[in-house]
Structure 1
């Protein structure tokens, strides 16, 4: 069979591409590797979109101008970002919501407990699952063909051009193709290869959970790397969050995240702190904590809070370990009690409490303590005490395909005429490291829409138009 535009993937970026290509007049086939009930990839687990806006807009308060968005991104990535593509994403985030609404997506104000996001992020009513379902309904109404349980095994390429894709032995030709099949985070062997062994002969990645879909195996990403496509990103960099150590191996999603880190202290299995828990607002820093935990012995850590933190963070799905004293908590968590108490006593003694305010970068900090806690530092001294065992949870990997403002895949610096990329497969262009809440959806929406339009135009230029089914 032959269509104008083939979209490989089934999440937000793929759906945006399919919808835009269809609206541009192309016939479109979308191939989703997952069965229908698991469709949507990681997008089904999302909650919001980070949006630039110069004045209050419906569900968004105040203003969030381009320069502030850019500075937020610059800070979390440490400068490892392509400014032109980042600014393209930021600007696109300011005018996509009317289009999204036109395809059935509804928005709501930020949820209780989603600290600091009412100004910067528009929440999807019903979450990412509702967004994905709305897009699929719209795609089907418009005549986009959708096939589930259709993983693409390989691509047929010729001189940097897309020719066809194979699902098993079936060959599917198209005039243009959009790759939006996610990263390689579900591929345990590739994670092992990327992270290697530590000095003790252990494989750190064996202790990672995959927060989202099990279907992002990176098959096409691997093939394109081997075919000489230009790449970007470090295979060990990822959106990696500290999650509850009791989380399932796949699809734990948002409810397994532990959000009380900034309200207490985090210790490793030796009972020692290893990073500033109060460095910045949680939406800007939550996605560094998975990598921090991954670098600790055994890839495990423990978030410890007292009764003063109760009600100040979004509760996880599982209750924490509770104790009436700190030594009892250490014992219940399986930590060395003297080492743990030395850490907690040292921390409590170093706290300089001013005016505590979790909505601001307040003046509660530690003195003469390494690592410091620079904000929200209060003694952990009010029973009951709670501890949460943490392990790394990978959302998506940042190794991807280098692209430009047209979303084209490039080979040796030459953009392909008919092969485009969107979503996690190219997010590393904007996210060299780090993360800030909602920006993955901003990238996927911006580049999905660009890729869809570009693919439709490339198909039309080929001179042969295939009518939609």
Structure 2
């Protein structure tokens, strides 16, 4: 009988497979995607958020545990399991040497990403290079991989894993790691979760999926139906405001619009609806998809003037451009008078200070609702630019409850041989919100933990300690 079955093909799954193999287990990976599309959402990632107490190669200064924890606590609004969150944080300090041993390379932050030069380690070649490195290492170690292998259901007995079913094929294993992602690619489940809004619209119809089309949530649904303890809100997700022209799937990082904090954002009624300068963009970019999802027609428009050009990572596609505000409104199909008044009110409310996009500066608005807390400068220098925004869903936060061993819980009791890692359990740490790179921190930490624990369960010996 097979020792460890890993279901999934992204970062968390490969970390689990490599750890289990290093512990001496025979490992089979089942990836639902074809080989050319392997890796899930991990192929679109760029970096890993890392705790460190002093400068480390590509990381500058220090980013201690408590600061990481406070950043996470802030963006989640307290909707997080502190014990599990701190496990991910602490593992982020020691995982990179292990990653390097499996072929992953790092590079310094690039222009336009300096906000995270202290907190995040960037992968050389991005997520695709990371995934390819892990697959090469897995192959060299003897991990078997099957592609186009969609698992329909798990065979469980009171929380104990027996086998996985692929159609009529039954695969037995002594232990299993589920790392098969969330349900963000399942449009019907998104419709079910979000329902209609007050205007009778179905917001999920206008969602674009930034990552893989293969995250249908099949095993997540199966586990919940079989009594796995549930964690998270099905409407909470990593949701970014992306270019409205992005493809339905796999647009990735290049579809993101990063100039929000340098201007204003208006809805279809040409009115602002949230504080664009609330905090640093890496701590707020992943709430803007949800904010846009709540607007009429699930669309917004990021507006900047010439002063902002060169201060953010430019989008792939050019936005609308005009020399006057009313001309820009016409290009966008917005009410000209309302749009011009919105900008005028914003400009009048701006209070001059020392503008510095690298810090939480003192440029703010007064007497304006919603306010703009930082980086508020009048939009008064043509040409003016606009980018249409849609909600871009990266991954969902509904998942299964796990413990420090990554064991899936059933009725409050941990399974003895079924473990979970990655998006399928990220809701234990991410109840809402996001901060750049933390998804990879969670997936790497709990992927490695799950793999070590699965090997221990299969081989009936203590789990190997995780070392850097």
Q: Distance in 1 between matches of 2:174 and 2:72?
A: 36
Corresponding position of 1:162? 161
Contact map agreement 1:175 1:462 (CA 8 A) in 2: no
**Residue 324, structure 1, aligned to residue 323, structure 2:** yes
For these two proteins, the number of residue pairs brought into alignment is 462
Contact map agreement 1:303 1:388 (CA 8 A) in 2: yes
Corresponding position of 1:250? 249
Specify the SS of the correspondent of 1:116: helix
Q: Distance in 1 between matches of 2:343 and 2:150?
A: 50
The 5-angstrom pairing of residues 172-183 of structure 1 reads 172-183=171-182
Corresponding position of 1:149? 148
What TM-score comes out, normalization by structure 2 length?
A: 0.98
Shift of 1:201: 2.5
**Residue 392, structure 1, aligned to residue 391, structure 2:** yes
Specify the SS of the correspondent of 1:181: coil
Q: Distance in 1 between matches of 2:321 and 2:278?
A: 26
The 5-angstrom pairing of residues 29-178 of structure 1 reads 29-178=28-177
Q: Distance in 2 between matches of 1:10 and 1:430?
A: 21
Q: Distance in 2 between matches of 1:306 and 1:42?
A: 33
Shift of 1:93: 0.1
Cα offsets for 1:276-296 (capped at 9, x unmatched)? 000000000000000000000
Q: Distance in 2 between matches of 1:63 and 1:245?
A: 37
Contact map agreement 1:244 1:389 (CA 8 A) in 2: yes
4+ runs deviating over 4 angstroms: none
Specify the SS of the correspondent of 1:390: strand
Specify the SS of the correspondent of 2:114: coil
Shift of 1:199: 2.6
Specify the SS of the correspondent of 2:116: coil
Q: Distance in 1 between matches of 2:369 and 2:36?
A: 48
Corresponding position of 1:14? 13
Cα offsets for 1:208-251 (capped at 9, x unmatched)? 00000000000010011111100100000000000000000000
Corresponding position of 1:268? 267
Shift of 1:462: 9.0
Q: Distance in 2 between matches of 1:3 and 1:29?
A: 8
Shift of 1:198: 1.8
Contact map agreement 1:427 1:440 (CA 8 A) in 2: yes
Shift of 1:200: 3.0
Corresponding position of 1:467? none
Cα offsets for 1:74-125 (capped at 9, x unmatched)? 0000000000000110000000000000000000001110131110000000
Q: Distance in 1 between matches of 2:181 and 2:382?
A: 44
Query: Structure 1's 283 and 158: CA in aligned 2 closer, same or farther, altered over 3 A?
Result: same
CA RMSD of aligned residues (A): 0.9
Shift of 1:461: 1.6
Moved more, 187-196 or 112-121: 112-121
Q: Distance in 2 between matches of 1:436 and 1:206?
A: 26
Shift of 1:316: 0.8
Q: Distance in 2 between matches of 1:432 and 1:340?
A: 35
Unaligned runs of 5+ in 2: 463-468
Q: Distance in 2 between matches of 1:152 and 1:108?
A: 36
Q: Distance in 2 between matches of 1:296 and 1:458?
A: 49
Cα offsets for 1:372-423 (capped at 9, x unmatched)? 0010000001000000000000000000000110000010000000000000
Specify the SS of the correspondent of 1:73: helix
What TM-score comes out, normalization by structure 1 length?
A: 0.98
Specify the SS of the correspondent of 1:7: strand
